[in-house]
């Protein structure tokens, strides 16, 4: 018996996912400027017009890769923690680390584009310029349980910056455990005994 013909919706989702996968790999290796729409089209077996049907433009491809694909899981983690009573900052970071440890190609893409977008003319420059501020601002909506006297905003800024740097070290060291590497960062960010019971 032949397999049933996939529905148009399923087929469209498959094509879109294939475009995202090819984009993540190409942006990671070649950056935005080194990636052409034709390259993505060839990778997924579509015409350039076919790719544009799903993403609108090359900038749309960039937005899809960063905002929807890379950021969405972190946004979901924070959204879930907003509903918790006095959650732990350490737990949020561990969840983000677990997500990123499972998606090295996306982390590679993010890191490549982050460096490339130091150029003010880069289409992702504004995204990266505001990303840290927006991420910290979102995290400040959560009613964290922290030791007395801790400046939560400064801690969040330091932690997210440390995570970006750590991910570069991890990418340069294939096979290393990102969660274990992050544990060392936790010890520096939230030292004991001050953070006893808050980690």
- Distance CA(63)–CA(150), nearest Å, equals 35
Tell me the pLDDT tens digit for each residue of 98-154. 999 999 999 999 999 999 999 999 999 999 999 989 999 999 999 999 999 999 999
Per-residue model confidence (pLDDT) at position 6: 47
Average pLDDT, the chain: 93
What would the two tokens of residue 154 be? 């400064």
DSSP calls for 33-47? TT--HHHHHHHHT--
Extents of the domains making up the chain = 8-64, 70-189
- pTM confidence score: 0.89
User: pLDDT-derived band of residue 19, with 50, 70 and 90 as boundaries?
Assistant: very high
> Which residue, 112, 92, 93, is CA-closest to 104?
112
Superfamily (CATH) of domain 8-64: Homeodomain-like (1.10.10.60)
- CA angle in degrees (0–180, nearest 5) for 116-132-87: 140
CB 35 within 8 A of CB 43: no
Phi, psi of 134 (to 5 degrees): -65, -40
pLDDT of residue 8: 54
Mean pLDDT of 11-31: 94
Candidates 87, 93, 105; CA nearest to 181 is 93
Under 8 Å between Cβ of 61 and 23? yes
């Amino acid at each position: 018996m032949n397999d049933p013909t996939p529905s148009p919706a399923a087929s469209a989702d498959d094509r879109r996912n294939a475009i995202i996968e090819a984009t993540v790999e190409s942006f990671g290796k070649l950056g935005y400027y080194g990636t052409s729409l034709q390259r993505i089209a060839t990778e997924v077996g579509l015409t350039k017009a076919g790719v544009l049907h799903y993403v609108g433009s090359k900038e749309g491809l960039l937005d899809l890769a960063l905002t929807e694909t890379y950021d969405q899981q972190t946004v979901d983690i924070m959204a879930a923690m907003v509903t918790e009573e006095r959650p732990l900052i350490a737990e949020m970071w561990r969840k983000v680390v677990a997500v990123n440890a499972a998606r090295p190609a996306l982390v590679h893409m993010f890191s490549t584009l982050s460096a490339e977008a130091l150029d003010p003319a880069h289409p992702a420059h504004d995204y990266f310029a505001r990303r840290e501020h927006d991420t910290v601002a979102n995290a400040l909506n959560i009613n964290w349980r922290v030791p007395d006297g801790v400046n939560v905003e400064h801690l969040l800024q330091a932690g997210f910056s440390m995570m970006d740097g750590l991910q570069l070290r991890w990418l340069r060291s294939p096979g290393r455990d990102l969660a274990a590497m992050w544990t060392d960062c936790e010890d520096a960010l939230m030292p004991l005994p001050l953070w006893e019971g808050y980690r």
